[in-house]
Structure 1
């Protein structure tokens, strides 16, 4: 009799243990359940990324660097578009028709280098005045001397049907004469074109 009672108690205990295990599995905390974590992760990953701000290109034309073969480089004014010819050669030409309303024709800039035997700046200025005056059909005058980039040079000026003419020329340590010439239409200020170029000039 005692043995049968013990067996009944053991059986009842086994049933209660089994029921307790089922109850624990069924009452899983929703805060830590895999379904809850997956839902939170999906919600986070679904959030769209902010797009990068759009690139706005500059409205200013690119700066135009001009380089002669062996003597100087300089920058053309970057407020207009330029057509250039012969960059990095012994003679470079740049022109623009992008001029303010009311101005006629175009702005012309050219730079040239060539060797010289003498080093007399006054004599070179006179020779250049004569040869350029004939070639361009412009009466020119030597109006003074000015130092650009640490090198003293001469200035020639004149006027023609195409506009105002300005030239600066100087001799470097290797006795190579470099000239930078401008033709600016009437109605435009010569200094607006000459000064930025000469201020940017760098000797090689």
Structure 2
């Protein structure tokens, strides 16, 4: 009788040890998975932070020069405002504003052009001249020693209620060439695709 009780006790003890060991193994595996997952999160976050910092570090330095449309002489005291900035700029004796830094947002998918730029609206206001609004002004990444200069030619106003002048900035010759090359590539791609489809239809 005593031996039967001892055997049962021994069996229960062995079973209990096996269960404890099994639970320990499962717990260790779960802990390892948790550690691996936690170690991967900072890497992803770090990569995203680096990508964001890359976008934020792109800077464009801009200077606006306002001149009389007829004489070409600099216009002093012209007020210049930007659609994306909460600050007023005024031209000096040379007709130029101070150096204006701007953030350039690079999304990575800029479509037809590969060069990143910030598109803004520039307003120029000066008593005795018609109000001037420039749409689609493109500010590109530049350095402080080589800022981007935008020359705006304002027209003298005959009356205070003169119709404002609205203008739209054109692409630069470099960007125009880039757009042309992209469009030519697209044309060739579409032409080849159309030809392949027609050949398949004819052979059938």
User: TM-score, normalised on structure 1?
Assistant: 0.31
Compare the two structures and name the one with the higher helix fraction: 2
User: TM-score, normalised on structure 2?
Assistant: 0.31
Compare the two structures and name the one with the higher strand fraction: 1
